[in-house]
Structure 1
Amino acid sequence: MGDKAHTPPGAADRATAPDHPGALRNVVLVGPSGAGKTTLVEALAQATGAVQRAGRVEDGATLSDHDAIEQRRHRSVQLSLVPLEWEGVRINLIDTPGYADFVGELRAGLRAADAALFVVSAADGVDVPTRTLWAECAAVGMPRAIVVTHLDASRSDFGEMTRRCQEAFGGDDPDAVLPLYLPVHGTPGADGHAPVTGLIGLLSQRVYAYGDGPRGERGPTDAERPRIEEARGRLIEGIIAESEDETLMDRYLGGEEVDLGTLVRDLEKAVARGVFHPVLAAAPAAPGVRHGLGTLELLELVTGGFPTPAEHPPPEVTGLDGAPRPPLACDPDGPLAAEVVKTSSDPYVGKISLVRVFSGTLRPDTTVHVSGHGLADRGHEDHDVEERVGALTSPLGKRQRPLGHAVAGDLACVAKLSRAETGDTLSDRGDPLLIGPWELPDPLLPVAVRAHGRADEDKLSQGLARLVAEDPTMRLEHDAATRQVVLWCLGEAHRDVALERLSTRYGVRVDTEPHRVALRETFAAPATGRGRHVKQSGGHGQFAICEIRVEPLPAGSGVEFADEVVGGAVPRQFVPSVEKGVRSQAARGVVTGNPLVDVRVTLLDGKAHSVDSSDAAFQTAGALALREAAAAASVVLLEPFAEVSVEVPDDHVGAVLSDLAGRRGRVLGTEQSAGAVSRVRAEVPELELSRYAVDLRSLSHGGGRFTRAHVRHEPMPPPVASRFREGAANAA
């Protein structure tokens, strides 16, 4: 690698459609926010001739400014695709957000890609969020190379950054993370920092100089040779250790010279298997210069060392009935199987679906079967429809360039798939398939919303439905108990972007309100009540009297009703009326407006009038009797508890335990997980968890995550309950 200089023609005026998977590379850029992923994409685009300068396409727009929200926030918040052409290979670069709130976009990018460039900043080091992103890649077995950026920063050190990456990402084998190139430094400036002016290829043993013109090439100087030999020897041993030729290491240690071709082939195989992670350096080009530092080396690695789509295992597929189907093959002539990895809306084009084709060939103006997974808990109903594929395009900044087709392994934008949502499968009409979904993070930050005005009420439900159709990491909930519309998000930034999209993209203004937790009421001790509903104002009157006894029941019993009336004091036809009135009042609550549960209500006695008694009168009397019993007894408020499982780096376990105690939590246990991570299990009132997704991230410096599951309702402590009683009294 690093043996040739390249000068490809400009590609901004066309979009080619490869005819076979071998001419494709799908590469996702992963790394923390601020590491320079988008800048790297623009540098690579400039090196391939896709853009004119510093990420500028022909109309003057940048590759990354097509989303107004990203422009305002100066942060990537969604996945974006930038296709490039390099030496007959189409490289689909997938830029992903580095902020934890948008991990759903990252996972979609990992699904669409076959390898990753993991971008880290030499100025920032490797922190907990960076390790978390690495773990996301490892969880799906993604082949990775590491790209070190910001080498121009005064405190940057490529060697030190490589060492930190070895510690963080190498696991038990630091030689699984080794540089392919070493930086060449120029004359130190006034601040003492020596700029990086070139790279030394350890395998080719050539020095590549980056200046104002094309990349230069020369042999190493005598002063550079010792440095090359030491690093090259370690690199060769690291590559050979992963070689499928078990005799190669013994031959090398015995003094045999391993030819460059063998080393490159073994390197490619080790990278594709995800067991070796080469480290490279990159920097954007200076003004007026086409090739940024390390861009050509990166392109050579991507085209020569990263797996093709045919080499990366595709996801599993089933029939619509769930029956397993034979594994997919990345064959343009095979059955069509494609997946929507991203959905967005364009103000001029309308709905656009970014699709990864795993098998077959997708063509415009054909009818396909669209299968949805359901995900009803997130607002995605299961669907099974046929739709006509609109135009196929390839994006470059704001431009959409026409494509004639998309073969297996390729990515393309499809217009006007009105029913398709993120995660849906496109397949042949005659043989519908369903691709297994990728794992979605659980949204744990609730945001209660309501329409800002009358004009927004009619558009609210449609706007929310379109929002969650684009982003399956959100969950839309209509809480019948609290009568709130709740949008569950991954964090505050995720929430803010969602609300901004509602306003700017769909024209729906909303107001937020405090999220309410569904409480319950119950009786702490038996009590009796008498309901008397007697009215006479001329003509037909109302007369109903009933006496009841209320007794507490075990948790989960609901509301039971019993009849112990003797002698016909309450006529048989009116006993169901009393029950209906009691149950109606129990649903409305008796103290704070929360449902009454876990009680048995027994009808003991009553009186009726031959003319004035009625169904409505006894319903009212039953409700009055229950309220009187509540006034004479101790009514307890019940709050929901959740079992919480928190995974957090060992260094932050103490802070998490203290915080859980402050939330009235009960710790059930702590156990050790892999990688210096502990799992803390606790039962915590759900009232204390509304902002836990945000607070845990702060406590653990971005390294903590948790799951929650409702377990039961428990009596609320009197000091806490008094606040709700006072609030209910003030509202009344």
Structure 2
Amino acid sequence: MTQDNANGRRYGGPRCIAIVGPFQSGKTTLLEAILARMGALQRQGTVAAGTTIGDASAEARSHAMSVEANVAAVDFMGDTYTFVDCPGSIEFLAEMQPVLPAIDAAVVVCEADEKKIPALQLILRELEDRKIPRFLFLNKIDSSSQSVREALPLLQPASRLPLLLRQIPIWRNGVAVGYIDLALERAFIYQEHAASQVVDIPPDELPRGREARYSMLERLSDHDDALMEQLLDEVEPPRDRVFDDLAHELRDGLAVPVLMGSALNGNGMLRLMKALRHEAPGVTETVARLGLTAEPGAPALGHVMKTFHTAHAGKLSLTRVLRGTFQEGMTVTASSGESSRVAGCARLLGQTTQKVAQAQAGDTVALGKVDAAHTGDALSGAGAVGRLAAVAIAEPVMAIALRARDRKDDVKLSAAIQRLLDEDLSLSVEQNAELGDTVLRGQGEMHLRVAVEKLASKFGVAVNSYPPQIGYRETIRKSATGIRGRHKKQSGGHGQFGDVVIDVGPLPRGTGFVFTDRITGGVVPRNYIPSVEEGVRHYLRRGPLGFPVVDVGVALTDGSYHTVDSSDMAFQMAARLGMGEAMPQCSPVLLEPVLGVEITVPSDATARANAIVSSRRGQILGFDARPGWDGWDIVRALIPEAEITDLIIELRSATAGVGTFRARFDHLAEISGRHADAVVASRQAAQ
């Protein structure tokens, strides 16, 4: 049960905590260390050995990185804490988006690495915009070569809120062997994979500890007049007041507390858990943050954080219960208005499920076979409720075309892709009828690679992938007039006869196709003229260069017919023959789609981004500071679609993994020379 102490500090109750941070900062290791310290695991596994509770999927272990959100619940001092470990790579950052709305707080795992500051800023901005309380856990302190005095100024630009140092390391021979807790005024000496030894602050560390504690209290006094007076009067404030102010600063979004430790060695876990217990808000505050009420008797309400498709349990919907009770057999309604019956409730420990009778407000559980639910939905025990918070997913930046290796798996592939999209909101698919491609779009090379691997390992459909075809077009530069197309065939009985004369000419870019009827005197009967247009349109699907033809005008000027042998089909054939004769005379030219691109990068990488654009036949239009983002720029450019295919790979390489872009079709542009010859030769070979 949640209780308040005499000073109003809240203790206990089920919590849901997100573990977030830049790629390779140690999030999965932190979760493993917490589980081991809390007794949920007999032994702490490692990412390198592939023995962690999180990252248990074949794809995660194959690539030694988180590729989806991992969930584990653990009991601590009589309460349940559900941790959701979110991937740190920007390619899988969309896994974090639907998790954030319903969490109580976040632990942001980071290290004092200048290269990772932009990635840290991306993550902190998400938390800031959603007003989510957050701790910063400075990881790998045992191997850090920087002092905290150097680390904090390095990290501060990533956060809009001031970073509030709660602990300082104790150094021996250049190695952090423990820390001083500035609120408790005690020292903790690290013990590998065991609770730290609590000791008095070493005499040689007292001056540094007092100075750091006074800085912390000064920061707290900015929002506590009584504490300010005590500091001015040199009166030592009561410890309870200090802890109350720390909780207040966290919950009201006034500061970001900074804790430290070594996840790999299991150091600092207990202090982190106690900080979460005593200072992090609970579900009541989370409900209020979402603008909801938690009135007694109100219908059950939950938020779907993640969707899993499992081999044995079917579809599971990871749900944070915000209000009321969910239990097996109850009917719930998703945001779409569709209803489903809950097949069961379970706590998760990685890929292991533990069935529970029911889930109450604050619990985070997997609900079985709620087919109507989708990630980001609100689930209600009454009528439909709209989504509780927007889930903004970044636009795709890379695409691959897919084809089932075995043709008999074509139908199975379609169903597998839909389940894949149900699990991962940042994937999208389109069927390109013109080119015959099934195109899967995602957040980068690794994201799409993992998607292909999941199709095989999880959904049993092996596929071949290849770059999507580019939507090239062709047009003409010159006109051809008086071109005759005649189709005449006699094969016994009724023959076939159609005769047309056409003029063909170029039109302004973007006009498309225009057909004009200039027939006089009925030389071509009115009922056959639509057939002539249809024949022309059929030819334009594939011009002399092998691509659809655009921006062409065709005028029917003359012709003849036979009262018995003429037919719709004959005039269609005559028109196609006429076009086949005319088009090579009109100087056909290849057109390629050019996209308007907005590239978002840290300012120190803007010059590199400009160079990348230029190397890809791009035209730089200019760049500006990214609104509301200190230290970031937006580069605007025009780039041919053919050069966009793997742009994100080079862009991420030049920006420590954080660069991205948005692209929109802008116009078609002529291309000639070797590049055009190569495109035409490739299409002819394919056909």
TM-score in terms of structure 2 length: 0.92
Aligned partner of 1:293: which letter? Answer: N
1:629 aligned partner: 582
What is the rounded CA distance, in whole Å, between the counterparts of 2:650 and 2:107 in structure 1?
31
Deviations 1:80-120 (A, max 9, x none): 11112222332111111111210111223323422111112
How far residue 460 of structure 1 moved from its aligned partner, in angstroms, is 1.1
Task: Give the secondary-structure state (helix, strand or coil) at the position aligned to 2:231.
Answer: helix
User: What corresponds to 1:573 in structure 2?
Assistant: 527
Separation of aligned partners in 1, 2:105 and 2:672? 53
Q: Distance in 2 between matches of 1:436 and 1:53?
A: 38
One of 342, 351, 359 as aligned partner of 2:323: 359
2:90 aligned partner: 100
466-475 vs 534-543, greater mean Cα deviation: 534-543
Identity of aligned residues (%): 34
Structure 1 contact 332–407 (Cα < 8 Å) conserved: no
Q: Pick from 219, 228, 231: which aligns with 1:249? A: 228
- 1:647 pairs with 2:591: no
Shift of 1:722: 2.6
2:179 aligned partner: 199
Question: Normalising to structure 1: TM-score of the pair?
Answer: 0.86
Q: Which amino acid aligns with 1:343?
A: T
> In the alignment, does 2:392 pair up with 1:412?
no
Alignment partner, residue 526 of structure 1: 479
Count of matched residue positions in the alignment of Structure 1 and Structure 2: 671
Which of the residues 495, 499, 507 maps onto 1:545?
499
Q: 1:360 to 1:526 in 2, by over 3 A?
A: farther
Alpha-carbon separation, structure 1, partners of 2:326 and 2:258: 36
Q: Hey, what does 1:181 align to over in structure 2?
A: 167
- Give 1:273 deviation, angstroms: 2.6
Kindly provide the CA deviation profile for residues 644-677 of structure 1, in whole angstroms up to 9, marking residues without a partner as x.
Answer: 1112112111111122122222222211233111
Which consecutive unaligned segments of at least 5 residues does structure 1 have? 1-19, 287-291, 317-326, 373-383
Q: The residue matched to 2:157 in structure 1 has which SS? A: helix
Measure, in 1, the Cα distance between the counterparts of 2:195 and 2:631: 47
Query: Quick one: distance in 2 between partners of 1:689 and 1:556?
Result: 22
Partner residue in 1 for 2:101: 111
Partner deviation per Cα, 1:421-465 (whole Å, 9 max, x = no partner):
222332234454443431111111011111112232231111111
- Residue 257 of structure 2 corresponds to 278
- CA–CA distance in 1 between the matches of 2:275 and 2:289? 25
Q: Distance in 2 between matches of 1:22 and 1:711?
A: 56
1:219 is matched with which residue?
A: 200
- Cα distance in structure 1, aligned partners of 2:262 and 2:397: 38
Task: Write the distance in 2 (CA, Å) between the matches of 1:264 and 1:128.
Answer: 31
Give 1:426's aligned amino acid.
Answer: L
How far, CA to CA, are the matches of 1:128 and 1:399 in structure 2?
35
Cα deviation, residue 467, structure 1: 0.8
Cα distance per residue 1:341-376 (max 9 Å; x no partner) = 21112222122111123333222211111234xxxx
Give the superposition deviation at 1:566.
1.4
Once the two structures are TM-superposed, the CA of residue 74 in structure 1 deviates from its matched residue by 1.7
2:460 alignment partner in structure 1: 507
- Aligned to 1:610, the other structure's residue is in SS state coil
Aligned-CA RMSD value: 2.6
> What are the residue-to-residue correspondences of 1:161-180 with 2, within 5 Å?
162-170=151-159, 176-180=162-166
Which residue is 1:133 aligned to?
123
Deviation at 1:21, TM superposition (A): 11
Of the three residues 212, 216, 219, the one matched with 1:235 is: 216
Q: Deviations over 1:572-598 (max 9, x none)?
A: 211111111112222x12123332222
Distance 1:395 1:55, change over 3 A: farther
User: Structure 1 residue 307 and structure 2 residue 293: aligned?
Assistant: no
C-alpha displacement of 1:177: 1.5
Say if 1:643 and 1:684, in contact at 8 Å, map to a contact too. yes
Query: Is contact 1:151-1:158 (8 Å) kept?
Result: no
For residues 324 and 345 of structure 2, what CA distance do their matches in structure 1 show?
Answer: 15
2:661 is equivalent to residue 681 of structure 1: no
Q: Which of 128, 146, 149 is the equivalent residue of 2:139?
A: 149
Secondary structure in structure 1 of the residue aligned to 2:498: strand
Please state whether the residue corresponding to 1:515 is helix, strand or coil: coil
Q: 2:514 aligns with which of 542, 545, 560?
A: 560
Q: Does 2:421 correspond to 1:468?
A: yes
- Alignment partners' CA distance in 1, 2:197 and 2:392: 46
- The 1:211–1:435 alpha-carbon spacing in structure 2 relative to 1, beyond 3 Å, is closer
Inter-CA distance 103–21: structure 2 relative to 1 (3 Å threshold): farther
Kept in 1, the 8 Å contact 2:142–2:261? The answer is no
**Structure 1 residue 122 displacement after superposition:** 5.5
Please give the per-residue CA displacement for 1:112-145, whole angstroms capped at 9, x wherever unaligned: 4221111123688744333333333333333221
CA distance in 1, matches of 2:22, 2:383: 44
The structural deviation recorded for 1:334 is: 2.2
1:51-104 deviation digits (Å, cap 9, x = unpaired): 222159xxx974225322222222111101111222233211111111121011
> How far apart are the structure 2 equivalents of 1:254 and 1:75?
52
Structure 2 contact 594–665 (Cα < 8 Å) conserved = yes
Shift of 1:314: 6.0
Change (3 A) 1:709 1:330: farther
The residue type equivalent to 2:89 in the other structure is Y
What one-letter code is carried by the residue in structure 2 that aligns with 1:681?
R
C-alpha contact (below 8 Å) 1:330/1:409 kept by paired residues: no
Q: Deviations over 1:318-344 (max 9, x none)?
A: xxxxxxxxx422457423332222111
Separation (CA, whole Å) in 1 of partners of 2:625 and 2:114? 29
Counterpart of 1:14 in structure 2 is: none
**Contact 2:25 / 2:139 at 8 angstroms: preserved in 1?**
yes
Please state if 1:340 is matched with 2:320: no
Deviations 1:142-184 (A, max 9, x none): 322111222332x53452563354443355x7xx223212223
CA distance in 2, matches of 1:640, 1:668: 17
Using the TM superposition, give the Cα deviation of residue 534 of structure 1 relative to its aligned residue in structure 2, in angstroms. 1.0
CA distance in 2, matches of 1:662, 1:185: 49
Q: Distance in 2 between matches of 1:467 and 1:330?
A: 34
Matched residue of 2:491: which SS? Answer: coil
Secondary structure at 2:333's aligned position in 1?
A: strand
Cα 1:640/1:337, change in 2 over 3 Å: farther
| 1:26, distance to aligned residue in structure 2 (A) | 1.6
1:389, 1:475 → 2: CA distance?
Answer: 28
**Contact 2:404/2:464 (8 A) holds in 1:** yes
Aligned-partner Cα distance in 2 for 1:333–1:405: 17
8 Å CA contact 1:201, 1:207 repeated in 2: yes
Equivalents in 1 of 2:197, 2:655: separation in Å? 46
8 Å Cα contact 1:544-1:613 kept in structure 2: yes
Partner of 2:557: 604
Are residues 264 and 101 of structure 1, via their aligned partners in 2, closer, same or farther at CA, if it must alter by over 3 Å? same
Kindly provide the CA deviation profile for residues 363-402 of structure 1, in whole angstroms up to 9, marking residues without a partner as x. 2211111234xxxxxxxxxxx4211111100011332111
Residue pair 1:22, 1:310 contacting (<8 A) in 2 also: no
Q: What is the SS of the residue equivalent to 1:435?
A: coil
- 1:7: which partner in 2? none
Alignment of 1:312-461 (within 5 A): 312=286, 327-330=291-294, 333-372=297-336, 384-461=337-414
Q: 2: distance between equivalents of 1:559 and 1:285? A: 65
Check whether the contact 2:112–2:155 (CA below 8 A) recurs between aligned residues.
no
Q: Secondary structure of 1:624's partner?
A: helix
Would the alpha carbon gap of residues 524 and 247 (structure 1) be closer, same or farther in structure 2, given more than 3 Å must change? farther
Give unpaired runs (5+ residues) of structure 2: 1-9
